[in-house]
Amino acid sequence: MNKHPGLILPAPENFLSPEDITRTAAGRRDFLRRSFELASAAVAATFAASSGAATGDPAILQLPSWSTSLGKPVAARPYGAPSSFESNLVRRESPGLTRVSEASVSFTPLQGLFGIITPNGLHFERHHQGWHDIDPARHRLMVHGLVKTPRVYTMEDILRLPSVSRIHFLECGANTAMEWGRSAVPTVQYTHGMLSCCEFTGVPLAVLLEDCGYDEQKSRYVLAEGADGSSLTRTIALDRALDDVLVAYGQNGEMLRPENGYPLRLVVPGVQGVSWVKWLRRIKVGDQRFGTKDEVLHYVDLMPDGHVRQYTSIQECKSVITTPSGGQKLLRKGYYNVTGIAWSGRGSITRVDVSFDGGRNWRTARLENPVLPKALTRFNVDWEWNGSQAILQSRAIDQSGYVQPRINQLREVRGTRSIYHNNAIQSWRAAETGEVTNVQVS
Ligand code: MTE
């Protein structure tokens, strides 16, 4: 019997055997020794670099105002905001990328984020015709087509249905598009920042399709349509729609932000962002692909033989080192925690390798928990920089065994006229000065 109320003992099969305990303890000792050595080396290096300065450091010798005065009251800011010292960490639009900002992108500052979750205020934005703050009381979702009972749902109806919460990445098919020909933009915010990862909450689309009685014999596809002026429409295969697609209203524990589709958006895990229809107002069930303007013209790939590849939905396995990355500077030789993110539309990440010499030698990075399917995975690797030029790269492998390709391997298949779906290995060059820049290594 469990004597402690609230303490649940693990099931017997979860207990460790004596051999397991010896193995685990040895592993932990090894890890601790290694961490300690690295940490001591880092501390020694820091002290060595700043010796002399520390003794007269006013940050230590003088009491700052915040230690001698009354702070601000609670609820001085009813909705919290980042520290004023973090004001540089913002979404940024790439100047000149599009003619007007209503049909543009603002990029997530990946270089400044930790873990795998993107804060709502830093989620990238991609609109075809601007965003709106839609009154939820006036918003409706219609489900019709090959269904027994077409229905129109209010937000109140949707919020009463069974819900789930899942963490998924959202990547625009155009992410890294500017890098097909050469290294074009300076920072990871612009090379890879059409990428975010959030916990989304909503109703499985399967629940709504079943509620309306979709025709199980004839139905093959659904069409999703947004309520903005662009009337963005995308076809989604019924199998996928019934699998893990969500009609979502929640993002990281609160309602979606208007820029991200408030009050309702589609979440299509693993699939390119354009299918994640925002301000979702209509789902039509059909027996064939709908072939709308958005799927015929945009987010398609012009292949070397002149054919256009349509309906490329899955975002293939990809990774990028976020620190150090373009625009940053290594301040001195010695220890660095090299960190980055990896993701795959086909499931979970199983391994990430990191190279410091442009792909000649690789070391396996640590994958940090949680490692979730169709979500970002954080990786870390220890690096001792000796002050000479280095080319940093990361290469991810997913559960299907797919290995993230080099840019030349991708070009061999896709030719040189692609815009979308560039999942090539990214290279950052650390010069002897410590300056880190975006370079392409074939
Ligand atoms: N849905 C509507 N209704 N209108 C849009 O312009 N943009 C699409 C998709 N859904 C879009 C939309 C594209 S191209 C992408 S990449 C994602 O939304 C971006 O989602 P976000 O703005 O929340 O990052």
**Tens of pLDDT, residues 241-298:** 999 999 999 999 999 999 999 999 999 999 999 999 999 999 999 999 999 888 888 8
> What CA–CA distance (Å, rounded) separates 254 from 262?
11
Mutation test of ligand 1: which of 276, 279, 293, 298 has the most ligand atoms closer than 8 Å to its C-beta? 276
Higher pLDDT, 126 or 184: 126
Please give the pLDDT value at position 41. 54
> What CA–CA distance (Å, rounded) separates 317 from 400?
10
Q: What is the mean pLDDT of residues 6-15?
A: 31
Q: What is the mean pLDDT of residues 182-207?
A: 96
**Does 406 score more than 90 pLDDT?**
yes
**Ligand 1 atom nearest to 266, measured from its CA:** 10
Strand 140-145 with 151-154, pairing = antiparallel
Handedness of CA 118, 122, 127, 129 (dihedral sign): positive
Please give the pLDDT value at position 312. 72
**Residue 279: what are its φ and ψ, rounded to 5°?**
50, 45
Q: Is the CB of 365 under 6 A from ligand 1?
A: no
Q: Is the CB of 245 under 6 A from ligand 1?
A: no
**Does 299 score more than 90 pLDDT?**
no
CA 270 / ligand 1 centre spacing (Å): 15
**Does 67 score more than 60 pLDDT?**
yes
Please give the pLDDT value at position 418. 87
**Does 149 score more than 70 pLDDT?**
yes
Higher pLDDT, 305 or 87: 87
Q: What is the mean pLDDT of residues 395-402?
A: 98
Q: What is the pTM of this model?
A: 0.88
For residues 406 and 334, is the Cβ–Cβ distance under 8 A?
no
**Does 24 score more than 50 pLDDT?**
no
CA 306 / ligand 1 centre spacing (Å): 28
**Tens of pLDDT, residues 82-125:** 999 999 999 999 878 888 999 899 999 999 999 999 999 999 99
